Amino acid sequence: MNAPDATATIVFDGTCVLCNGWVDFLLRHDTQARYRFAAIQGANGRALLASHGLDPDDPSSFLLIDADGAHRDTDAIRRVVTGLGGAWRVAHAMGAVPAPLRDRLYRFVARNRYRLFGRHAACRIPAPHEAHRFLD
């Protein structure tokens, strides 16, 4: 398979069980290979966070970089899921909930993600058939 023409990059926590589940979900449902991934523990992920004003050593934000710029937290999640197309476009309805309320809930989960969902000892190693979708 040729490398995908990924148009967006998602920066994720490579040791977080929840975050890796999110990446697994996207790898399954992103049939057009729109997204590529960079773990915050890697050089590319750290650089992307820093270049968008986020602290790579305190990665509680979700970051999506696409053709329209950088998006964080629930706005980024909404864009990613909607970008999957088809029935996933219903995620656009998340916009009906005010961003401060959505983001407050997101930040609670992000701050407690290791306690709630667990943590891997090391970053995920992509399977050979998905390695071309990862920056590090």
In this prediction, residue 125 carries a pLDDT of 87
In this prediction, residue 124 carries a pLDDT of 84
3-class SS at 61? coil
In this prediction, residue 19 carries a pLDDT of 93
**In angstroms, rounded to a whole number, what is the distance separating the alpha carbons of residues 18 and 21?**
5
| pTM: predicted TM-score of the whole model, two decimal places | 0.87
CATH number, domain containing residue 103: 3.40.30
Secondary structure element (H or E) that encloses residue 55, with its range = none
In this prediction, residue 1 carries a pLDDT of 31
* Structural domain harbouring 76: 8-119
Q: Any idea what DSSP says for residue 38?
A: E
Considering its fold, how many domains does the chain have in total? 1
Considering the domain boundaries, does residue 133 fall inside one?
A: no
In this prediction, residue 61 carries a pLDDT of 72
Considering the domain boundaries, does residue 64 fall inside one?
A: yes
Give CA 133 to chain center in angstroms: 13
In this prediction, residue 6 carries a pLDDT of 66
Residues of the chain with pLDDT under 50: 1-4
Q: Any idea what DSSP says for residue 86?
A: G
Torsion of CA 126, 122, 112, 94, to 10 degrees: -10
**In angstroms, rounded to a whole number, what is the distance separating the alpha carbons of residues 122 and 86?**
34
Considering the domain boundaries, does residue 18 fall inside one?
A: yes
